[in-house]
Structure 1
Amino acid sequence: MSVTSEEAAREALRQRQGAGARYDSPAAPARELAWARRGTAYFARKLNELTDAELYDPSLLPGWTRAHLVAHVGYNARALTRLVEWARTGVETPMYASTEQRNAEIERGATLPARALRNLFAHAEVHLNVEWRDLTDAGWDAQVRTAQGRLVPARETAWMRTREVWVHAVDLDNGGSFDDVPPDLLAELLADVQRSWARREERVGLTLAPTGGEPVVVGNGGPTVSGALPDLVRWLTGRGVRRLTSSDGEIPDIPRWF
């Protein structure tokens, strides 16, 4: 079997780091973990570009400051860590005690001093990475329950984190853009929106026509919405309409993502 340049680079890194370093298990979802880690670095960069005072200005999410957003992303890492711990130990540890507890946690987090908010984000993502790297091959397929009540294998946590960090980096509203998201990840986000609609049995009929790509028929089809893939994903994830056109002259209303 041929070895890719990425695999060769990983092996060279392991040789440099030595026997004491920790690595993901062979059964880990390598693609999704790479997306999550790259997205974490992207979110961190956009966060670090903000002054402490700017953290308390509005984000793109209605009713939330950037501090709310940073608290949410930090506490989300802790919640996903609990799911990975559940998969590793077999002891049930839910993401949140309740929706009310989750919301109260974010509201309290949004009042933290800027330094504490930055530390929350940094420390929580390191802890999550440690748990991911300690998870065995079997652990990645252990069943855990999401905050929405779905039973999923622990490998799903990598995708859940991917969505959080990339999309909320844009929500910080300081220059983050869907244009910065890797094209293969954009395609997966588009598919994720469709999966979410299907689980909720939403009745959606339209055709998506990404520039330079193959059309995507949703439901039984309908008006064709055309534009660059980043702009289509922005719209599908509820972040507004930019540079899109519709075959019937009006961009249709669509259900929420999740």
Structure 2
Amino acid sequence: MSIPESPAEHDHPDVLLPLLTASAGHLLRTVEVLTAEQIRAASLLPDWTRAHVLVHLARGADSRLRLLTTARGGIDLPQYPDEATRAGEIRQGVLRDTESIRVDLRTSVGELLSAIAEHPAEAWDVPVRWLGGGLRSVRGVLWSLLRELEVHHVDLATSYVPADWPAAFVTRELRNTVSGLKADPAMPPVRISADEEASQRDAGGGPGPLVSGPAADILAWLTGRSQGTALTVDPPGALPRVPAWRQ
């Protein structure tokens, strides 16, 4: 499935819900076969075990459900009251037994997908209160959830790797990521050339080296999920250091 270029089309639930359902299914199947010991083992994220990642995903699903509830005309609920609340929920959540963590994730993601499927068409553009982002359309629940599911599936450090990301996800998320980095003063100058695309993109300000390779590998490098060993740099040298991707 391809993602349309028009923002009004590519964030339509009819387009993204099949991708979300498939992504969630892949993630939950991975989690289902992890042992208790494996769930407590390290993830790819600094200082986080796999349990931290799973709790983060569950609470993130709950937070998006709150936004959908608000958009439907319920009580005015922010995504989270603040960053401290978000972090505290994760710290408390990992203290539970691993089976509770597993069930919690399955329940939270399932409830959110059901809410997305049932959300009224006229309520997708209602502004809601996102953490750190002020008032934005609730439609952002769709793509932000897909990003969370796909990127954090890789963070579990199992057999799921960036090369497994759906092509539709990689195409759009690479575009989004490069656009965001272009405005980030911490991003060094760099030009991006994905093997699957004919054109180059600039990230950071001013001229910089050309980084080339498969789109999924470039996205993994830019989001801190890879050291970029599959990428080439012209002129030859080390890959530029990119800013940390927010968890």
Please state which band the TM-score falls in when normalised by the shorter chain.
0.7 to 0.9
Out of 116, 120, 134, the position equivalent to 2:118 is: 134
3-state secondary structure, aligned to 1:214? coil
Out of 206, 216, 222, the position equivalent to 2:208 is: 222
Cα pair distance change 1:195/1:251, threshold 3 Å: same
Q: Report the aligned-residue RMSD.
A: 2.0
Aligned to 1:239: 225
Aligned to 2:6: none
3-state secondary structure, aligned to 2:192? strand
Aligned to 2:8: none
Match for 2:49: what amino acid? T
User: CA–CA distance in 2 between the matches of 1:200 and 1:223?
Assistant: 17
Q: How many Å apart are 1:131 and its aligned residue?
A: 1.8
Contact 1:145 1:151 in 2 (8 A): yes
Aligned to 1:255: 243
Q: Map 1:52-71 onto structure 2 (within 5 A).
A: 52-71=36-55
Match for 2:125: what amino acid? D
With normalisation by structure 2, the TM-score equals: 0.87
Contact 2:13 2:116 in 1 (8 A): no
Q: How many residues are aligned here?
A: 233
Q: How many Å apart are 1:133 and its aligned residue?
A: 2.3
Is 1:45 aligned to 2:29, yes or no?
Answer: yes
User: CA–CA distance in 2 between the matches of 1:213 and 1:198?
Assistant: 19
Is 1:107 aligned to 2:91, yes or no?
Answer: yes
3-state secondary structure, aligned to 1:151? strand
Is 1:184 aligned to 2:168, yes or no?
Answer: yes
Structure 1 range deviating more: 38-47 or 166-175: 38-47
Match for 2:79: what amino acid? M
Contact 1:207 1:215 in 2 (8 A): no
The percent of aligned pairs where both chains have the same amino acid is 27
- Deviations 1:29-78 (Å, cap 9, x if unpaired)? 32222222221112112212311221000000000000011000011000
Contact 1:142 1:154 in 2 (8 A): yes
Q: How many Å apart are 1:221 and its aligned residue?
A: 4.3
Out of 84, 91, 97, the position equivalent to 2:68 is: 84
Unaligned 5+ segments in structure 1 are 5-26
Q: How many Å apart are 1:81 and its aligned residue?
A: 0.3
Unaligned 5+ segments in structure 2 are 2-10
Match for 2:90: what amino acid? I
User: CA–CA distance in 1 between the matches of 2:169 and 2:28?
Assistant: 18
Contact 2:188 2:240 in 1 (8 A): no
Contact 1:223 1:246 in 2 (8 A): yes
3-state secondary structure, aligned to 1:141? coil
Q: How many Å apart are 1:199 and its aligned residue?
A: 5.8
Q: How many Å apart are 1:198 and its aligned residue?
A: 5.0
Contact 1:28 1:137 in 2 (8 A): no
Structure 1 range deviating more: 92-101 or 155-164: 92-101
Is 1:174 aligned to 2:161, yes or no?
Answer: no
User: CA–CA distance in 1 between the matches of 2:171 and 2:219?
Assistant: 8
User: CA–CA distance in 2 between the matches of 1:125 and 1:212?
Assistant: 32
Aligned to 1:16: none
Q: How many Å apart are 1:192 and its aligned residue?
A: 1.8
Contact 1:204 1:218 in 2 (8 A): no
Cα pair distance change 1:213/1:149, threshold 3 Å: closer
3-state secondary structure, aligned to 2:121? coil
